[in-house]
Amino acid sequence: MECNCKKSDLSLIEPVLEEYGDVKGSLITILQHAQEIYGYLPVDVLYRIADRIGSSPAQVMGVATFYSQFRLKPVGKYLIMLCQGTACHVNGSEKIEEALCRELNISDGETTDDGLFTLKAVSCLGCCSLSPVMMINGETYGRLTPAKAIEIINKLREESIS
């Protein structure tokens, strides 16, 4: 089956398909590897996976959209993972989210026009004692206030310009 979308380098996924293509029940594992390779799940890659494992593209899409780990769009330079755990919520994560959305002019799951920031609300990051918490490209920022969160964003923005 063909799809008329942006072309990805499909050869990158072949070793993964080689290893797992015939192991039944491996779709999630294949998608996890694909996301690691491409940074997200491009549609043409999903078609290729479906073709190889003998499944329909709809079935593969169904699994890809079911789990929160998978994304169908590329992410910005900085991926802001804002913790939505209960402890963070009780300690004001909603206000952090509002402040970030306002500052970046995006909502949850979106990327800024300049491609710098993607905001993603995630389930508990497990740093409850530092709540509210966000993690940006692996770095944890804890005990946030709306002002502190914006300060961090501005700093990253300046860093990326300079």
Judged by CB under 8 A, does residue 125 bind other proteins?
yes
Q: Which stretch binds other proteins (CB under 8 A): 3-11, 27-35, 41-49, 111-119?
A: 27-35
Q: Is the Cβ of residue 7 or residue 104 nearer to other proteins in the bound state?
A: 104
Judged by CB under 8 A, does residue 37 bind other proteins?
no
Q: Is the Cβ of residue 115 or residue 123 nearer to other proteins in the bound state?
A: 123
For the CA atoms of 108, 119, 110, 121, the dihedral, rounded to the nearest 10 degrees, stands at -30
What is the SS3 assignment for 5-17?
CCCCCHHHHHHHH
Please tell me the distance from the alpha carbon of residue 142 to that of residue 35, in angstroms, as a whole number: 28
Strands (E), 19-116: 78-83
Please tell me the distance from the alpha carbon of residue 69 to that of residue 34, in angstroms, as a whole number: 12
Please tell me the distance from the alpha carbon of residue 57 to that of residue 102, in angstroms, as a whole number: 37
CB 15, min distance to other proteins, A: 19
Q: Which stretch binds other proteins (CB under 8 A): 1-9, 41-49, 110-118, 140-148?
A: 140-148
Classify residue 36 by burial, with Cβ atoms within 10 Å: 0-12, 13-18, 19+. exposed
Judged by CB under 8 A, does residue 102 bind other proteins?
yes
Judged by CB under 8 A, does residue 105 bind other proteins?
no
User: x/- contact string, 69-88, with other proteins (CB under 8 A)?
Assistant: xx-------------xxxx-
Please tell me the distance from the alpha carbon of residue 155 to that of residue 141, in angstroms, as a whole number: 13
Please select the residue that binds other proteins; options are 31, 80, 134, 144, rule is CB under 8 A. Answer: 31
Binding site for other proteins (CB under 8 A): 24-29, 31-32, 62-63, 66-70, 84-87, 89-91, 95, 98-99, 102-103, 122-131, 133, 140, 142, 145-147, 150
